[in-house]
Chains A and B, each alone.
Chain A
Amino acid sequence: MGSAVTHAPVREGLAEGSSPRHGPVKSPRSAELKRRGRRENLAGYLFMSPWIAGFLLLTAGPMVASLYFAFTDYNLFDAPKWIGLDNFSEMFGDPRWRHSVQVTLWYVVVGTPIKLIAALGVALLLAQKRRGQAFYRAAFYAPSLIGASVSVAVVWKAIFSDDAAVDRTQQFFGIDAGGWTGDPDLIIYSLVALTVWQFGAPMVIFLAGLKQVPRELYEAADVDGASRLRQFWNITLPMISPVLFFNVLLETIHSFQIFSSAYIVGGGAGGNACGPADGSMVYTCYLYVQGFENSRMGLASAMAWMLLVAVALVTAVLFWSQKRWVHYEEGGR
């Protein structure tokens, strides 16, 4: 790839295609062109209209509504009552809310790095040529395909609950701690384990990144006598840092939004959806409890916007930090 032969036709096509859709136009009559352009645009919009309608009705509309509800007292049944910033001040004064923030931050800070390290580690192994490579890739990717589903969370709960697989293994080694899902201090670890197990998606992205690292660099390093570890630190990591950045960003945002797995694994044990003694009460779980159990949709909306702001802030910080550790080729971005 990359020879002059392949480049030539592409360039030709580009030069010719400054107005490629109109074919060879000899005398440009601008009115006619404009009309046709409009018609084409119209067709485009019509084709897009299901999506646009969906976006307006299912995404933009509810978002605007929830922004309004965030400043109201709304119990789902009566008309919303404007209360200004009361929801926000109530939120900050609520110890249960603060607890949910703590649980979520813990989950993000502990779970995300472990997951990324697992993804990168396996990607490094799978990047090498070996027999059955395709099978291994598929096998490691599979959990994240099915991972978001409720059924996996149900299975997870079954594995980690009292007197189940994990508990029995512990007992075999003489640890009688009981199941994880019923323990307010341990349940969050089972959630971290669940997210780490689903490292397939970042792994695939890492794999793609690793494939892009030029072989010559390693060859040169070999000649210089650099060790494997040194090659990893000084070549692999800097070269894949844009991919790493992408994964860090995506996984962090995902982690903040954890809901279904926490809801399912935490639910049932303790009767409420947030695990025993709120042990797995991540932010969105508490949001759900306020909205649908306590019928306080206004407060729940305020919480949702608070989460949005927090995620936006974290994203901004990550983008700001990338200048220090993300290396793009050709200097620019």
Chain B
Amino acid sequence: MQQGSKVERRTVLKAAGASLAVAGLGATATACGGDSGSGDGTVTIRYSWWGAEDRAQRINKTIALFEKKYPKIKVKTDFQPYTDFWKKFNTQASGGNPPDVFQNAIGFLRKYDAKNVLLDLGAQVEAGNLSMDGFRAGLEKFGEIDGKLLGVPVGSNSMALVIDKPVYTRAGIKPEQGWTWDDFHEAMTRVRDRTGRAGDSGMYGVMYLYDLYLRQNGKAFFTEDGLGFSEADLTAWWSKAERDVKSGLFADPKKVAQIKPKSALSAELAGSEYTWDNFTVRYTSEGKSEYGLAPIPTTDGKRTGQYLGSLMLSAYKRTRHPKEVAQFIDFMVHDPEVAEIMGYDRGVPTTQAQYDAYRPADPVNKAIAAYEQSLVDAGVLEEITPHPNGADICEAAFLRIAEEMALGERSVEDAVKQFFTESKTALVG
């Protein structure tokens, strides 16, 4: 009896201990999550971005440099591919635990501003922790929305036609600034007939290219809060695409889908592809051929509708270390050594100091620099189109539905209707 009750007491105590330990673990875990400072005044900021292994190595080098110059600030990094990045970010942000500073793009500014996630860096500029001087070609305005500085551009790029040079030479085509869509169509035909390869890899799904085409015609993909074109516009664009897929001017969509994530250009399914100019770097490492840049075709022989796009660095609104985050961003956009490490990986450096610090020696980066210079010289650059809240979802839908249309899973009419339905939902939300 006596013994029995003793055992019981011990049992109870042990059980209590075990559950306390579990509860304690939980408490420690929460404590760790929130705290990023330590006794000696060192703070840790979390920095996340999207990209691949190659970019990771460059970024780690720049961070080592930063930590040497700012020994009181530690930077923890995290990276994913583009789509996974935003899923993880959403989850973290909704749990109140997003990274302190992160890579961002124009399509997300209004979205996350509306959700109260982005820090207005204006105050840090006033406090002198972040300088917005020395940016090229008005790029300092790029991350400004409704008077708030929501992002600082780290690299600029522009849409281009990336071409397989030997293929274009064999077809005898020399694209020049000011060529028209008719010229382009003619070129596609020649590539197909003379080299047996499709001319283009499927431009009908590239939202940013369609935006340029609309801009050339006095419209735009987005307005402040909606779509800037009609169902008839898109029907025309996709009807032509359907025709050109059938006639072999555009690469076989089935093949294009199958070789992903490789691009149709580097997989030698097509002679050219519309994309951001800094992608030439990627294609060069992916494919066997030599790649160059050609200008965007025009409607009137002059206007391309182009603007500079950019990757940015943004900060989390409720970060506990706004000052350190601002210093970090400042370092990343101004320090010349950073430019030497990053090269044109995220586009051409946005500040004059960094632009001057990195002079590309290899033909690919040289070509990108020359292309961007040619845009400045030709004077075709315009103001960027607004990107409303929900723009990112519209882009994903545009790409997906265009692919379904090209694969013959949807009629053009059906595809257009579906895109407008989905966009309406996305842009309201």
Asked if A and B bind, the verdict is: yes
A46 interface contact, C-beta 8 A: yes
Instruction: Decide: A293 near B257, CB < 8 A? Known: A43-B12, A46-B16, A49-B19.
Output: no
B400 touches A270 (CB 8 A): yes
A277 touches B409 (CB 8 A): yes
A294 touches B418 (CB 8 A): no
Residues of B within 8 A of A182 (CB): 254, 257-260
CB distance from A80 to the nearest CB of B (A): 11
Contact of A47 among B18, B87, B257, B396 (CB under 8 A): B18
Considering the complex, which residues of chain B in the window 51-86 have a beta carbon less than 8 Å from any beta carbon of chain A? 83, 86
What per-residue 1/0 map shows which CB atoms of B33-59 lie under 8 Å from chain A?
A: 000000000000000000000000000
Instruction: Decide: A178 near B258, CB < 8 A? Known: A76-B94, A276-B403.
Output: yes
Q: Is the interface of A mostly helix, strand, loop or mixed?
A: loop
CB distance from A79 to the nearest CB of B (A): 11
Size range of the chain B interface in the assembly: 35 or more
CB distance from A38 to the nearest CB of B (A): 11
Residues of A within 8 A of B11 (CB): 43, 47
B147 interface contact, C-beta 8 A: no
Considering the complex, which residues of chain B in the window 377-399 have a beta carbon less than 8 Å from any beta carbon of chain A? 393, 396, 399
Q: A162 vs B254: C-alpha distance in the bound complex, in angstroms?
A: 11
Size range of the chain A interface in the assembly: 35 or more
CB distance from B266 to the nearest CB of A (A): 14
B8 touches A271 (CB 8 A): no
Considering the complex, which residues of chain B in the window 99-120 have a beta carbon less than 8 Å from any beta carbon of chain A? 115-117
Residues of A within 8 A of B409 (CB): 184, 277
A40 interface contact, C-beta 8 A: yes
Q: A78 vs B429: C-alpha distance in the bound complex, in angstroms?
A: 11
Q: A293 vs B429: C-alpha distance in the bound complex, in angstroms?
A: 13
B15 touches A46 (CB 8 A): yes
B138 interface contact, C-beta 8 A: no
What per-residue 1/0 map shows which CB atoms of B84-98 lie under 8 Å from chain A?
A: 001100110110000
B257 touches A40 (CB 8 A): no
A269 touches B90 (CB 8 A): no
B22 interface contact, C-beta 8 A: yes
Residues of A within 8 A of B86 (CB): 293
What per-residue 1/0 map shows which CB atoms of B1-34 lie under 8 Å from chain A?
A: 0000100100110011011001100000000000
Contact of B259 among A40, A162, A184, A296 (CB under 8 A): A162
Residue of A nearest to B115 (CB): A77
Q: A296 vs B426: C-alpha distance in the bound complex, in angstroms?
A: 10
B8 touches A292 (CB 8 A): no
Contact of A77 among B15, B116, B255, B403 (CB under 8 A): B116
Q: A180 vs B403: C-alpha distance in the bound complex, in angstroms?
A: 17
Q: A271 vs B393: C-alpha distance in the bound complex, in angstroms?
A: 13
Instruction: Decide: A161 near B258, CB < 8 A? Known: A75-B115, A270-B400, A294-B426.
Output: yes
Considering the complex, which residues of chain A in the window 291-310 have a beta carbon less than 8 Å from any beta carbon of chain B? 292-297
A75 touches B429 (CB 8 A): yes
What per-residue 1/0 map shows which CB atoms of A52-91 lie under 8 Å from chain B?
A: 0100000000000000000001011110000000000000
B19 touches A269 (CB 8 A): no
A272 touches B12 (CB 8 A): no
A95 interface contact, C-beta 8 A: yes
Residues of A within 8 A of B429 (CB): 73, 75, 294-296
A294 touches B22 (CB 8 A): no
A53 touches B22 (CB 8 A): yes
21 contacts between A and B (CB under 8 A): A39-B8, A39-B12, A43-B8, A43-B12, A47-B15, A50-B19, A75-B115, A75-B429, A76-B93, A77-B116, A181-B258, A182-B260, A270-B257, A271-B396, A272-B396, A273-B83, A277-B400, A277-B409, A278-B400, A292-B91, A293-B396
